[in-house]
A = this chain, B = another copy of it.
Amino acid sequence: MSKKNVIVAQSGGPTVAINASLAGVVDATVKNDAYETVYGSIYGILGILEDNLMNLSDQVATNPNFIDTLKISPAMYLGSCRYKLPSYETDANTYSFIFKQFEKYNVGAFFYIGGNDSMDTVLKLSHYGEQIGSDVRIIGIPKTIDNDLCITDHTPGYGSAAKYVASSILEVAHDTFIYSVKSVTIVEIMGRDAGWLTAASALARNDYNSAPHLIYFPEVAFDTEQFIEDVKIQLETRNNVIVAVSEGIRDKEGNYISATTAANDQFGHSQLSGTGKCLEQLVKDSIGVKVRSIELNVLQRCAAHISSLTDINESFSLGSHAVEYALAGKSKCMLTLNRVSEQPYTIEIGTADIDGIANEAKSIPREWINNAGNDITQELYNYMAPLIIGEPTVNYKDGLPVYLPVNHLDQSHMHV
């Protein structure tokens, strides 16, 4: 009986660590003799639907630095998609086609690296596979900078994004503290529904820096009057106040501040006004102090040159464990990071049944946010702190970080 092959794909929004998981899958497959070839599906599950695969084993064979460079390259080497599988009831053909592709490529295991939507794909394919008695292992490998996946202690990609946020806040603090005039600086951080990444701003605090001085989360209803009060109190004791705010803060009726305040304050097109801009205008109108807002934007999910070694190593390890689990017969599951010890920080990798993971988001527990709703507690600090430790080696050429390119459709199209 000939050896089986594996297919791996990446989906959803980019992180700095999602290629490390891909590198882990490729490395383990190549090193482990049980599988023949590892194929990459271009643009997520779409690559299978459109018969657009690339041979990743070949890349390892021809480029001795492939694994190491892939490990620290940002975004998705294989490209991504935002495609959600139709339900089986409305479109059975898509499912039968995917499993025919698995047959055509003699696939033993399919690994999908992604966030909530990708785990939904893993769930649906797993159910269909069970139903038709397929022996293809379907395994999800988590990633998201938002850290909002259930069951796993944290998500790959979060630690690196957290490190970027914390370092940026520290550098913005340096930039802000140089003037003796009073100022307020508002830093808008990603996370529409969960404040984990915004909370990471607190990791910027060190023996000389107490910024951010205020932090606002989607988990706590935002009160604009209380916010102005909070800022005024901070301005009594310091010249330069730094505020970290989640893009997803909402008022007690559940309306996003970015939209409601924009409308009330005649910002014009409400979709143009980010949350940070709204708070900037609030401070300008109510306090009249020098104020600036900064949106960290996509760099918090793609600035691979300052990623967390802890994050990169865990993500890589998840990839290689996925291959081991598949060989051991595991399927219909997502891999998880389980924190088995706090001091020293120790992680074990496990699996969880895919039912009950997909489509459910994890918020910050309310008790990990202070009573006033404008800062984190020590427990949350302790939870986050180990995740940003360590710096991977990034090589530079001509002054730029050396990464592997995103593998474009036009370059990578192949029919194996």
Q: Which residues of A contact B (CB under 8 A)?
A: 14, 43, 46, 73-76, 79-82, 163, 166-168, 170-172, 174-175, 177-180, 203-204, 206, 208-209, 266-269, 272-273, 277, 281, 292, 294-295, 297-299, 301-306, 308, 385, 388-391, 396-401, 403, 405-406, 408-409
Contact = CB atoms under 8 A, between A and B. Distances in A.
Nearest to A267: B268
Given A266-B269, A272-B281, A174 B14 contact: yes
A203 B14 contact: no
A291 to B, nearest CB: 12
Given A167-B401, A399-B163, A405-B208, A175 B14 contact: yes
Contact of A179 (B79, B267, B306): B79
A303 B209 CA distance: 16
Contact of A305 (B79, B167, B266): B167
- CB-CB nearest 10 A-B residue pairs: A268-B268, A388-B399, A208-B405, A175-B302, A75-B174, A177-B406, A80-B178, A171-B302, A74-B174, A76-B178
A277 B403 CA distance: 29
Given A14-B178, A174-B403, 14 more contacts: A80-B179, A81-B180, A167-B401, A171-B303, A174-B405, A174-B406, A178-B406, A267-B269, A268-B268, A269-B281, A294-B297, A306-B306, A388-B400, A389-B399
Contacts of A204: 400
When all copies of this chain in the complex are counted, the total is 2
22 contacts: A74-B171, A75-B178, A79-B180, A81-B179, A163-B399, A166-B399, A174-B304, A174-B406, A177-B405, A177-B408, A180-B409, A206-B400, A209-B405, A266-B268, A267-B268, A294-B299, A295-B297, A305-B306, A308-B399, A385-B399, A388-B398, A389-B399
A389 B398 CA distance: 6
Nearest to A174: B75
Contacts of A81: 179-180
Contacts of A301: 175
A205 B56 CA distance: 25
A255 to B, nearest CB: 19
Given A171-B304, A174-B406, A180-B81, A166 B400 contact: yes
Contact of A299 (B14, B80, B168, B391): B168
A343 B211 CA distance: 45
Nearest to A16: B171
A167 B164 CA distance: 14
Nearest to A268: B268
A400 B299 CA distance: 17
Contacts of A409: 180
Contacts of A299: 168, 171-172, 294, 299
B73 A174 contact: yes
B206 A398 contact: yes
A295 B294 CA distance: 8
Contacts of A405: 174, 177, 208-209
Interface centre among A82, A266, A398 (most CB of B within 10 A): A398
Contacts of A281: 269, 272
Contacts of A266: 268-269
